[in-house]
Amino acid sequence: MTRRFRLTMGQLNPTVGDLEGNADKAYAAWEEGRAAGADLVALPEMFIAGYQPQDLIMRPQFVAEAEAAIARLAERCAEGPPLAIGGPYREGGTLYNAYWVLEGGAVKARALKHCLPNETVFDEVRLYTSAPLGGPVAIGPLRVGLPICEDAWHEVVAETLEESGAQILLVPNGSPYYRGKYDTRLNHMVARVVETGLPLVYLNMVGAQDDQVFDGASFILNPKGELAARYPAFEEQVIHAEFEETNMGWRALEGPIAEQPDAWEQDYRAMVMALADYCAKSGFGKVLLGLSGGIDSALVAAIAADALGPENVRCVMLPSEYTSDHSLEDAAGVARALGCRIDTLPIAGPRAAVTETLSPLFNGADPGIAEENIQSRLRGLLLMALSNKFGEMLLTTGNKSEVAVGYATIYGDMSGGYNPIKDLYKTRVFETCRWRNSHHRPWMKAPAGEVIPPRVIDKPPSAELRADQKDEDSLPPYDVLDAILEGLIDREASVRDLVADGFAYDTVKHVEHLIFTSEYKRFQSAPGARLTKRAFWLDRRYPIVNRWRDGSR
């Protein structure tokens, strides 16, 4: 009789620090697996603690409570299939990123992470100890190799497991999203199955934590890199997969092949999920934002309405004497199309009062940026007052182009608790608005259709802090600016490289100057959804005070 093995996987969304809540999620998945006749139920990397716990994992009491939660979970799951779950493990004074296998009410085995990532958002070398290479774990009829996340990105761990008798590789992951990440993962995992000749299960978590989004998209490969199954991106699921022993070894039976969304949809869903989880996990049910009539705040309003529901989004117009009638019309049009509440708080009176207060000290000085920024800071003041009064988290709305060059007012329009579009360059803001207008998905809570009026997308961007102001008065055109920013930030290109690409030397140097001198603003800016490998915060860590400039020409 042909032997089979049923694996139940929880592609689920843990919360950092919610040890009991995460344990309950794991138990619910285990119950589904038991009911389905599973031989093993598996959860992602560091699931009991939530991912990433960052320096929280350095607190001995947190680790002790996480291990205790795993022990209680083992007791709850004593009568049924083994449960595999990620969590910390401390042995003496050494801390490991571990994958625990629980069976019969006790800990059956632990796999310990060998390859510790120390790039982009990962800093595991300073948190954990690299464990010695280990062997597979016997579970039912199978010997299962358990390379943890980064372990499967390197040849040595998988080959050691294969050489020591593994018949299948199960890879628990906390792999955060960036644009194109699925293809990168797939390529690495195909390499592992080609090298070892073993089937491979790639189990990834979903959900968001601070700036990072975990997109799921778990999959199963058979030897030679054949895709046996792929599961939906960005969706919590308990998955059942079947394996069968053949005369060539164990093989995965064919399962569903979920369609992988395109880059525009993945980015948009990442921003929606990031905001929804940030609010849910930090205790906010409602948000507010300043709606200017411009494209950035319109997109943030759409993301917020899709994430939380239009009824939980307050839009506020704060017009000054420089605010055009069409901006007021456009802001109202966005709120109306989304179904969000909109309030109006004119700032002309408060601005006049502040100007009068400052006049004894400003007298004789030419008006300039200081006077313009009073408007932005008054808006921040009023929006934060509403946030405090009504318990609605304030969203800030600066795109990556503005964040990069400091085209924002600190303690003004930078005020807020979260920025959904922080890693979205302005040129992608335009296209994302067009994408949202022409696409609707069941996970979007706001209405379908043209929720961002075309005039909002097509009109020249302006901060409207003085008469007839346009962004291009101070910055290169956004297509030029974004190409230079992508070079300097995302590719770490030199000035010489960009000049060779056809950009004017003076323009490149001006943009470089703005990037470096705006570092202090970014240091104080709100977190935001990570969409690329060079998002501001953990991906790109520059000194605030820095006199170096690129001298190449």
Tokens of 456: 């909002």
Q: What is the pLDDT of residue 229?
A: 98
540 forms bridges with which residues in the sheet? Answer: 536
DSSP 3-state of 349: helix
Chain centre to alpha carbon of residue 378: 31
Burial of 62 per CB tally in 10 Å (0-12, 13-18, 19+): middle
**Distance between start and end Cα atoms, the chain:** 72
DSSP 3-state of 113: coil
Phi-psi region of 265 (alpha: psi -120 to 50; beta: other; left: phi over 0): alpha
d(CA 516, CA 312): 37
Q: Which residues are catalytic, by number?
A: 45, 113, 149
d(CA 310, CA 45): 34
Q: Are 52 and 88 in contact (CB under 8 A)?
A: no
Classify residue 413 by its DSSP letter.
T
d(CA 271, CA 265): 10
Tokens of 5: 């093995």
Q: What is the pLDDT of residue 461?
A: 75
Tell me what percent of the chain is helix, strand and coil, each rounded to the nearest 5: 40, 20, 40
pLDDT 10s digit of each residue in the chain, 553 long? 789 999 999 999 999 999 999 999 999 999 999 999 999 999 999 999 999 999 999 999 999 999 999 999 999 999 999 999 999 999 998 999 999 999 999 999 999 999 999 988 999 999 999 999 999 999 999 999 999 999 999 999 999 999 999 999 999 999 999 999 999 999 999 999 999 999 999 999 999 999 999 999 999 999 999 999 999 999 999 999 999 999 999 999 999 999 999 999 999 999 999 999 999 999 999 999 999 999 999 999 999 999 999 999 999 999 988 878 888 999 999 999 999 999 999 999 999 999 999 999 999 999 999 998 999 999 999 999 999 999 999 999 999 999 999 999 999 999 999 999 999 999 999 999 999 999 999 999 999 999 999 999 998 877 666 666 676 777 999 999 999 999 999 999 999 999 999 999 999 999 999 999 999 999 999 999 999 999 998 999 999 999 999 999 8
d(CA 59, CA 228): 41
Name residues whose C-beta falls within 8 Å of residue 200's C-beta, 6 or more positions apart in sequence. 152, 168, 169, 170, 171, 189, 192, 193, 220, 221
**DSSP letter for each residue of 473-525:** GTS--HHHHHHHHIIIIIS---HHHHHHTT--HHHHHHHHHHHHHTHHHHHTS
Q: Are 128 and 135 in contact (CB under 8 A)?
A: no
DSSP 3-state of 445: coil
> What domains are defined for the chain?
4-255 (3.60.110.10), 270-462 (3.40.50.620)
Question: 445 φ, ψ to 5°?
Answer: -90, -10
